[in-house]
Amino acid sequence: MKTAYKYASILLMVALAACSKPAEQETDENVAVTNKEVTETIELNIYSARQEHLLKPLLDKFSANNGIKVNLVSGRADALLQRLESEGKNSEADVFITTDAGRLHRAKEAGVLQSIKSQSLTSKLTAQMRDPDGYWYGISQRARPIMYVKGRVDPTQISTYEQLADEQWKGKICIRSSGNIYNQSLVASMIESNGEEATEAWARGLVANLAREPKGGDRDQIKAAVAGECDLVVANTYYLGGMLTGEVEQDRVTAEQIGIIWPNQNDRGAHINVTGVGVTAASKNMDVAVQFIEFMLSEEAQSHYALENVEYPVINKVAHSDTLKSWGEFKADSLTLSRLGELNADATRLMDRAGWK
């Protein structure tokens, strides 16, 4: 037993030693080699609400292109924002990536981002895809259209989000819970367009039409529809694309039976949202951070989104993947995306009032 304690205490020492030097813990071997050749290692630290596996290929490319070592922490958006806020001016993060314009807006309001005025950046993006003051820039966009089960629904019968509340869809709609940010921003966009009162009435109508209590993620709604539990689904194209190109045979078969209806093409357009990136107020590597954003908006990075991730790129020059092409062109809602963030809390409360679980 004595020896066991000895080992335990040695272990503890090792652990404490390991703790004190976390940053050097790991790095891709080839990058480390490159770094040794440079006299001073240039590093870029990223806090990202996007999952690691979605970003990793791009980060590797960025490192390879520029010889910059990239360090990443991925996590839940709001928690990372809290971390960024608490760490204040000493934060080591240079760049903050998060899904949803609402979060980007919140980060801007919290004062953790800094304004980047760059002609090369602004020229690449439409005004909608970036913060007017340059606090954040969109790097990919996703659409949240209505989906239907082919053969079971005539897609001409519904052409707007508003019609989801119509009597004829009673018991035929699946949508995830109101706790989800995608739904919150969809509702926010409707408040912006139709006003709070009309939207609340609409939300009540939608809740009354639900085939089941909201549960699961977007993929679960799609699966439930194909299995016959409902006919219409509101979900992000990204998830449908993931199913179509994923490794699970059954998912592919399921997703193939789903068709897409681009809503509100005759008025404001389909609901979209962005994933964006901003330079942190604490960044000590502003040049590298801007370099990174420029890379993310390069054709190379953007086509990765279009081809590998089945997301919509934010620049026009990039070719769409076959999957994206198969869904056709659409008109996107042109509201200022930061409005989604401003209206997010109102949207959440509205859904609570409407009984949207």
Applying the rule CB under 8 A, the residues between 149 and 178 that interact with other proteins are 176-178
- Tell me the three-class secondary structure of 241-252, residue by residue: HHHHHCCCHHHH
- Asked if residue 27 binds other proteins (CB under 8 A), the reply is yes
- For other proteins, which is the closer residue by CB, 289 or 315? 289
- Contacting other proteins within 265-324 (CB under 8 A): none
Among 120, 179, 198, 319, binds other proteins (CB under 8 A): 179
Question: Among 140, 209, 254, 275, which residue sits at the site for other proteins (rule: CB under 8 A)?
Answer: 254
Of 127, 198, 227, 319, the one binding other proteins by CB under 8 A: 227
Q: Applying CB under 8 A, does 357 fall inside the site for other proteins?
A: yes
The nearest distance, CB 74 to other proteins, in angstroms, is 7
Work out whether 239 is an interface residue with other proteins (CB under 8 A).
yes
Q: Which of residues 84-123 bind other proteins (CB under 8 A)?
A: 86-92, 106
Which residues, in sequence order, are CB contacts of 351 under 8 Å at separation 6+? 178, 183, 184, 187, 203
Residue 113 Cβ vs other proteins, minimum distance, rounded to whole Å:
15
CA trace torsion 297, 334, 47, 85 (10° rounding): 140
User: Rounded to whole angstroms, how far apart are CA atoms 8 and 23?
Assistant: 25
- Residue 352 is a binding residue for other proteins (CB under 8 A): yes
In sequence order, what are the residues at sequence separation of 6 or more whose Cβ sits closer than 8 angstroms to the Cβ of residue 327?
Answer: 237, 260
Nearest distance, CB of residue 112 and other proteins, angstroms: 12
Q: How far is the CB of 140 from other proteins (least distance, A)?
A: 14
CA angle 46, 241, 158 (to 5 degrees): 120
Angle formed at CA 164 by CA 160 and CA 170, multiple of 5 degrees? 150
Q: What is the CA radius of gyration of the chain?
A: 23
Residue of 121, 204, 224, 300 interacting with other proteins (CB under 8 A): 224
Q: How far apart are CA 227 and CA 261, in angstroms?
A: 19
Give the shortest CB-189-to-other proteins separation in angstroms.
Answer: 16
Among residues 220 and 300, whose Cβ is nearest to other proteins? 220
Dihedral of the alpha carbons of 329, 331, 337, 342, in degrees to the nearest 10: -130
Judged by CB under 8 A, the chain residues 6 through 25 that form the site for other proteins are: 8, 11-12, 15, 18-20, 22-23, 25
Cα three-residue angle 48-307-126, rounded to 5 degrees: 65
Interface pick for other proteins out of 60, 160, 194, 216 (rule CB under 8 A): 216
What six digits make up the tokens of 101? 């314009």
Q: How far is the CB of 250 from other proteins (least distance, A)?
A: 8
Q: Tokens representing 315? A: 């620049």
Contact between 75 and 47 (Cβ < 8 Å): yes
51 lies in the binding site for other proteins (CB under 8 A): yes
Interface residue with other proteins among 213, 287, 322, 329 (CB under 8 A) is: 213
Q: Is 52 in the site for other proteins (CB under 8 A)?
A: yes
Tell me which H or E stretch contains 99: strand 95-99
Rounded Cα distance between 250 and 242, Å, is: 12
159 token code pair: 């052409």
For residues 280 and 145, the answer to whether their CB atoms sit within 8 Å is no
The single residue among 35, 45, 163, 283 that binds other proteins, judged by CB under 8 A, is 45
Instruction: For residue 195, state whether it binds other proteins (rule: CB under 8 A).
Output: no
Nearer to other proteins, 15 or 117 (CB): 15
Q: Is 54 in the site for other proteins (CB under 8 A)?
A: yes
